[in-house]
């Protein structure tokens, strides 16, 4: 009876082994997919930060030229702290908002229409020379340039939306990490390619990837999570998704400002 029982146990084990291997294989496959998702999300986050710094600096340069201000540009390095990066962006937008509010209040008190009428009447009173009238018109267009920039930034509360979105991002548990904790850029990678193209390029070394996974899993872990890698990937993908609209708002603001600057330049040159 003992021999038969033992034989029966081994037989059952042999039949059950393929099922167990299949189950383990499935679990392993899912785990690898989650790791890949986390690594990919970390890489996209890395390039999103770089893109945000670039477009913020472009917007700042346009703003400084248009409003005659001296707001400092951003400087982002691989050892930059994520919290410091977002706080730097917030500071820039708050400085812009402060200038816009001050200029807007001034315009409300002294309307552009009154300035145009007074300037043109003054020229008519002094001379009817066509050349002088043309020169006066050019000066009027130049003076109208500042209100257009204010109008662009006030439309849809652009600066306010950016501040709100950044404040939301700063609540996520990644603020104490450095940019290099997400991805170490290969020096061979081109800097002018798009984010989607860069994310498809070969990744970091295996050792770096393991370090990245561990840091992100530790920071992004949630309580009672059965799969830390999966929950970390879910949360980081959520963060990356939240960064998308910020980039879009900045890009649209820059495009609108550039179009208006170009339009007024052409009008003032005529």
The boundaries of the domain holding residue 154 are 32-269
pLDDT digits 0-9 by tens, 12-23? 544 454 544 443
In angstroms, the CA 156 to CA 164 distance is 13
Q: Which residue has the higher pLDDT, 227 or 270?
A: 227
Residue 159 CB partners (closer than 8 Å, separation 6+): 93, 96, 97, 100, 153
CB-based contacts of 60: which residues, under 8 Å, 6+ apart?
71, 72, 73, 74, 92, 96
How many residues are given for the chain?
270
Residue 156's CB is within 10 A of a number of other CB atoms, namely 11
In which band, very low, low, confident or very high, does the pLDDT at 102 lie, cut at 50, 70 and 90? confident
Mean local confidence (pLDDT), 158-181: 91
User: Looking at the domain assignment, is residue 27 inside a domain?
Assistant: no
Mean pLDDT calculated for residue range 151-160: 78
- Number of Cβ within a 10 Å radius of residue 70: 8
- In degrees, rounded to 5, the angle at the alpha carbon of residue 242 between the alpha carbons of residues 183 and 229 is 50
CB atoms within 10 A of CB 236: 24
- 205-258: pLDDT as tens digits: 566 778 888 899 999 987 777 888 999 999 999 999 999 999 998 998 888 888
Per-residue tokens: 168: 């939301």
Q: Is residue 131 part of a domain?
A: yes
20 within some domain: no
Q: Is residue 81 scored above 60 in pLDDT? A: yes
What is the rounded distance in angstroms from the CA atom of residue 73 to the CA atom of residue 59? 10
Joined tokens for residue 260? 């208006």
Q: Would residue 17 count as lying in a domain?
A: no
81 is written with which tokens? 């702290």
* Whole-angstrom distance, CA of residue 32 vs CA of residue 49: 26
Q: What are the pLDDT digits (tens) for 113-153?
A: 555 555 555 544 454 455 554 555 555 555 545 566 777 77
For residue 252, CA distances in Å to 32, 45, 55, 58, 257 come to 38, 21, 10, 12, 9
Taken in order 49, 51, 54, 58, the sign of the CA dihedral is: negative
Using CA of residue 64, residue 66, residue 68, residue 69, what is the dihedral sign?
negative
In a domain, 3, yes or no: no
pTM over the 0.85 mark: no
Domain count, the chain: 1
Closest CA to 216 of 206, 226, 199, 230: 230
| Token pair 């730097």 in the structure block, residue | 88
- Cβ–Cβ under 8 Å, residues 58 and 254: yes
Cβ count within 10 A of residue 82: 20
Residue 191 has pLDDT above 50, yes or no: no
Average pLDDT, the chain: 75
36 in any annotated domain: yes
CA distances to 9, 90, 159 from 94, in Å: 73, 6, 8
Are the C-beta atoms of residues 90 and 166 closer than 8 Å to each other? yes
């Amino acid at each position: 009876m003992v021999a038969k029982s033992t034989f029966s146990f081994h037989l059952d084990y042999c039949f059950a082994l393929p099922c167990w291997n299949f189950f383990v294989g499935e679990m392993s496959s899912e785990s690898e997919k989650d790791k890949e998702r986390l690594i990919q999300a970390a890489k996209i986050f890395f390039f999103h930060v770089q893109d945000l710094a670039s477009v913020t600096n472009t917007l700042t340069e346009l703003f400084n030229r248009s409003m005659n201000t001296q707001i400092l540009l951003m400087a982002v390095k691989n050892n930059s702290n994520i919290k410091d990066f977002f706080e730097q962006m917030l500071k820039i937008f708050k400085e812009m908002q402060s200038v816009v509010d001050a200029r807007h209040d001034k315009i409300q008190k002294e309307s552009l229409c009154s300035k145009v009428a007074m300037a043109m009447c003054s020229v008519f009173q002094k001379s009817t020379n066509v050349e002088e009238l043309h020169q006066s018109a050019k000066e009027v267009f130049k003076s109208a340039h500042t209100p257009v920039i204010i109008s662009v930034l006030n439309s849809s509360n652009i600066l306010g939306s950016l501040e709100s979105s950044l404040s939301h991002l700063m609540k996520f548990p990644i603020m104490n990490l450095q940019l290099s904790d997400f991805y170490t850029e290969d020096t061979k990678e081109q800097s002018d390619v798009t984010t989607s193209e860069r994310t498809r390029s070969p990744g970091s070394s295996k050792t770096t990837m393991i370090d990245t996974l561990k840091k992100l899993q530790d920071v992004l872990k949630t309580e009672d999570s059965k799969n830390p890698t999966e929950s970390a990937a879910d949360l980081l993908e959520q963060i990356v998704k939240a960064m998308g609209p910020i980039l879009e708002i900045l890009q649209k603001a820059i495009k609108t400002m550039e179009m208006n600057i170009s339009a007024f330049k052409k009008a003032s040159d005529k």
